[in-house]
Structure 1
Amino acid sequence: MAAYDYDLITLGAGSGGVRASRMAAAAGRKVAVVESSRVGGTCVMRGCVPKKLLVYGAKFAEDLTDSLGFGWSLEGADFDWARLVVAKNAELQRLEGVYLRLLKESGVTVVEGKGHLLDAHTVQVGLRVLTAETILVATGGRPALPDVPGIEHAVTSNEALDLMQLPEKVVIVGGGYIAVEFAGIFNALGVAVTLVLRGDTLLRGFDADIRATLAEEMTRKGVDLRTTTQVRAIRRHGHGYGVELSDGQTLDADLVMYATGRVPNTEGLGLEKAGVVLNSKGAVMVDGLSRTSVRNIWAVGDVTDRVNLTPVAIAEAMAFVRTAFSGQTTPMDYENIPSAVFSLPPVGTVGLTEAEATKRYGAVDVYLSRFKPMRNILAGREERSMMKLVVDRATDRVLGVHMVGADAPEIVQGFAVALKCGATKAQFDATVGIHPTAAEEFVTLRDKRAENGRA
């Protein structure tokens, strides 16, 4: 048997790569992880965590306004965006230290630099050449920019997270979760936001009632939605930009941000040279166990472009270690994965959309409620929540749980357990609600929506 420097070399120290490396080390393997940027990866350093910290900061603007309806008086309240960004960066620095400490304590060697494969067992990092019996690719993804005249004037979410000054007017291009989250952040802090998207509404792939509700609430908050519209060019003029649209209009902006998708980080890794097959988007092709076309090379997370969520990458990493190093063949289960959009208001969802359920099961029953949360009554806020259950008519099993409104991600996380256990609508009905809460609405929905109708 060939002698290797390591049992496992992981390319990428994001959430999936760190989890796989630590677990493999705990299983008694000699492990190295190679990272060219900051340990923690996209989610911790350039995505979920810093973005949610900014969402928290922006949400306080609404909370302070709402407090007036509850007897509070505000004097001297002020907001400093730069202070928020500095505080956010300090937290990221702390988290990176935590990740490095966890890797060190697990016995994992951290190698700084970009690794690329020389062959199926050899990784070069700068002038160093390392070998391993098993290689895991966990390099994630990165924002993609389209070929539009003037695109060099645009920023992505990476740069938007580190702005030291708020713009007065921003044009955000895209209708996915990154676009709507940043639209909510900027809008709540008083920035004039225009959201330009090709589709007819937000969040393609989500349940139709989620999409319609969020679009309605964001519009109510003052976000200018330009649907079925594309950007033709971005022109620099004075201290700002002119964004030329397909409908002939030109929007003025201090900042133009693109959130039109991400691509797998496979460029320059030498994967093809090692025999690893990529698809047309550059994603690593894997089987149900996360193994690539080369038997000793595996891949997890966004680099495979399967379900691009941090908890999924972590779960894939754990399944990989059990399969590769613990003798427990463990395919990843992609059914009923909950997800959230930290828009304002936020979205929580798990299971099938109404359209997916109808296509898969045929007849379904839909229970839907729209209501003004108790807090919003005294606050004088018109924002309404939406809750929806999709139920298989033949078996009474709940197939989808969908919500737009305050605390939606926290509420739906709990109901994700119920869906994983195959809960029925009758079991939802038999559950006693906690009163007064928004969450109790999910266990008190009694009236089915009319066929082919909307509540």
Structure 2
Amino acid sequence: MSLRRLGNVRGAAGPPSPPGRRARPPAPGAGRLSGAAREELRRRLLGLIEGHRVVIFSKTYCPHSTRVKELFSSLGVDCNILELDQVDEGASVQEALSEITSQRTVPSVFVNRVHVGGCDHTFQAHQSGLLQQLLQQDPAYDYDLIVIGGGSGGLSCAQEAAVLGRKVMVLDFVVPSPRGTAWGLGGTCVNVGCIPKKLMHQAALLGQALTDSRKFGWEYSQQVRHSWATMTEAIQSHIGSLSWSHRLALREKAVTYVNSYGEFVEHHKVKVQQLERGLPGRLKVVAKSTEGTETIEGIYNTVLLAIGRDSCTKKLGLEKIGVNVSEKTGKIPVNDEEQTSVPYVYAVGDVLEGKPQLTPVAVQAGKLLARRLFGGRSEKCDYVNVPTVVFTPLEYGCCGYSEEKAGEVYQAENLNVYHTLFWPLEWTVAGRDNNTCYAKIICNKLDNDRVIGFHVLGPNAGEITQGFAAAMKCGLTKQLLDDTIGIHPTCGEVFTTLEITKASGLDITQKGC
């Protein structure tokens, strides 16, 4: 096939514009394109978009396409136009475009490699001034997007931007520990967070299951021991495979990955530097007791403060370009579109001030940011209805508001709080406490008793919370919960039978099975 009728247009007046350069055809073939031919077509389309200031995919008979072409003509802007009804295999071109942009119709407009969208979106961008901003952008930058930090949010944003045809670089470097331990791609979650945490949590649950199993009739005489070395080796092996898969995904999407530290040196300029890996210097530590007057002094190579995570923002050169950073936390304040105090710098993930430090939140925020920047979309990340779980021996899951926060937002008198203790069936024979597990929902009286907070303390709380989180996104109410048939006997069914409110003061302890 060949792509024809790619021409330049400037104003409506004057002689016809000369024909543009034709794209090279892939291997000949009839009907639906093969995988290789489709990928070649996609590559050529991205090259076409990359190489021109304005590209309009159009059809000669489409009135919406005509309106858009007349708009750019009135602005005196040179455009490269591909009329899909006058090219061989135009349907395949349109299908490839839909994979790139998620838009199946024409016109499909790109300005300085940013997908503006169709007719309505283009005119909206014109009226808001966004179109003029895009037309004025300097196309001479080496990359459309540079991501500093290869965590979940950064990788998500980078890959989505690459899918949308952007030229992307990812910089990621974590200083090795004094013992030489280094991280791979994936950030906290993959290397020292969600993944190893959940796997070690599973190891602990298996130990508890061994204890409970005797009550269920299992007999074993051999002494059971746990090998920490075996567990950690298996977990580290899995983490290594995940880091490798992240590198492979970046390579497949043509994202440039550099295992180096990134630092701003001036506006729109980032330098890359392979930090020293040597042992740290010696530190004098003075510790004073909070009770009494005891003071301890010592000289150490390493000091661990096990009080949470720290934001690595101090050496990024953010002060050189004017990005506001919290002096207290080192985190970055952003608006509801993850934009910092410097308009072209955005932040997602754990580095955000006042936002949940959760991998799925970072992934969602990064993906939506890329779509807004390069895909003509407008969806923003929901930071309120976020399901999460604490993988302690007894899991705790929640979604939406805490009772305290809900009271601040909606006023306590406008809330109904339903709660109960419950006893999982699996715990009965094992003889475990019948008043340890807890369920609670917070409902907004002024909005049809809509569930705005969900909390559960019990086995498999994460699996339970995930399903109810989807229901909350759909507008779950107390009545809908009451109308739902529970699965018996499960822990999740307790939410379909809640009757006691906190305001009633009634007893919620379990007296029997």
Same fold (TM over 0.5): yes
State the Cα distance separating 1:230 from its structure 2 match: 8.3
Q: Work out whether residues 366 and 390 of structure 1, in 8 Å CA contact, stay in contact via their aligned partners in 2.
A: yes
Letter in 2 for 1:330: E
Alignment of 1:303-342 (within 5 A): 303-305=351-353, 306-342=355-391
1:418 aligns with 2:471: yes
Cα deviation digits, residues 38-62 of structure 1 (max 9, x gap): 2111111111111111111122111
Q: Work out whether residues 482 and 497 of structure 2, in 8 Å CA contact, stay in contact via their aligned partners in 1.
A: yes
CA distance in 2, matches of 1:102, 1:88: 21
Give the secondary structure class of the aligned counterpart of 1:117: strand
Cα deviation digits, residues 363-415 of structure 1 (max 9, x gap): 22222121221111111222631111222234221221111010111101111
1:46 aligns with 2:192: yes
CA distance in 2, matches of 1:269, 1:275: 12
Aligned with residue 366 of structure 1, among 409, 414, 417: 417
1:290 paired residue number = 338
Letter in 2 for 1:114: Y
Instruction: Report the CA distance shift for 1:148/1:403 in structure 2 as closer, same or farther (over 3 A).
Output: farther
Aligned with residue 437 of structure 2, among 370, 376, 385: 385
Give the secondary structure class of the aligned counterpart of 1:264: coil
CA distance in 2, matches of 1:103, 1:46: 21
CA distance in 1, matches of 2:293, 2:152: 37
Letter in 2 for 1:360: V
2:263 paired residue number = 116
1:15 aligns with 2:64: no
CA distance in 2, matches of 1:276, 1:66: 55
Once structures 1 and 2 are overlaid, which stretch shifts more, 23-32 or 262-271? 262-271
Gap runs ≥5 in structure 2: 1-137, 175-183, 276-283, 509-513
2:313 paired residue number = 266
Aligned with residue 98 of structure 1, among 245, 262, 286: 245
State the Cα distance separating 1:298 from its structure 2 match: 1.1
Instruction: Report the CA distance shift for 1:55/1:292 in structure 2 as closer, same or farther (over 3 A).
Output: same
Alignment of 1:126-275 (within 5 A): 126=273, 149-150=286-287, 258-275=305-322
Give the secondary structure class of the aligned counterpart of 2:419: strand
CA distance in 1, matches of 2:196, 2:255: 26
Q: Work out whether residues 160 and 370 of structure 2, in 8 Å CA contact, stay in contact via their aligned partners in 1.
A: yes
State the Cα RMSD in Å: 2.6
Q: Work out whether residues 410 and 444 of structure 2, in 8 Å CA contact, stay in contact via their aligned partners in 1.
A: yes
Instruction: Report the CA distance shift for 1:343/1:230 in structure 2 as closer, same or farther (over 3 A).
Output: farther
1:75 paired residue number = 221
Instruction: Report the CA distance shift for 1:449/1:231 in structure 2 as closer, same or farther (over 3 A).
Output: farther
Q: Work out whether residues 16 and 313 of structure 1, in 8 Å CA contact, stay in contact via their aligned partners in 2.
A: yes
1:401 paired residue number = 454
State the Cα distance separating 1:416 from its structure 2 match: 0.8
Instruction: Report the CA distance shift for 1:83/1:150 in structure 2 as closer, same or farther (over 3 A).
Output: farther
Instruction: Report the CA distance shift for 1:450/1:441 in structure 2 as closer, same or farther (over 3 A).
Output: same
Letter in 2 for 1:8: L
Q: Work out whether residues 149 and 233 of structure 1, in 8 Å CA contact, stay in contact via their aligned partners in 2.
A: no
1:57 paired residue number = 203
Q: Which has the higher strand share?
A: 1
Give the secondary structure class of the aligned counterpart of 1:335: coil
Instruction: Report the CA distance shift for 1:403/1:236 in structure 2 as closer, same or farther (over 3 A).
Output: farther
Instruction: Report the CA distance shift for 1:326/1:67 in structure 2 as closer, same or farther (over 3 A).
Output: same
Give the secondary structure class of the aligned counterpart of 1:272: helix
1:171 paired residue number = none
CA distance in 2, matches of 1:448, 1:85: 45
- After TM superposition, the score normalised by the length of structure 2 is 0.63
Alignment of 1:433-452 (within 5 A): 433-451=486-504
1:301 aligns with 2:320: no
Letter in 1 for 2:221: E
CA distance in 2, matches of 1:294, 1:257: 34
2:84 paired residue number = none
2:164 paired residue number = 27
CA distance in 1, matches of 2:237, 2:332: 34
Cα deviation digits, residues 31-87 of structure 1 (max 9, x gap): 110011321111111111111111111221111001111111133222111111111
State the Cα distance separating 1:331 from its structure 2 match: 2.6
State the Cα distance separating 1:235 from its structure 2 match: 6.0
Greater relative contact order (CA < 8 Å, ≥ 6 in sequence): 1
State the Cα distance separating 1:148 from its structure 2 match: 7.9
Q: Work out whether residues 286 and 297 of structure 2, in 8 Å CA contact, stay in contact via their aligned partners in 1.
A: no
Give the secondary structure class of the aligned counterpart of 2:150: coil
Q: Work out whether residues 395 and 462 of structure 2, in 8 Å CA contact, stay in contact via their aligned partners in 1.
A: yes
State the Cα distance separating 1:359 from its structure 2 match: 3.1
Aligned with residue 86 of structure 1, among 198, 209, 233: 233
- After TM superposition, the score normalised by the length of structure 1 is 0.70
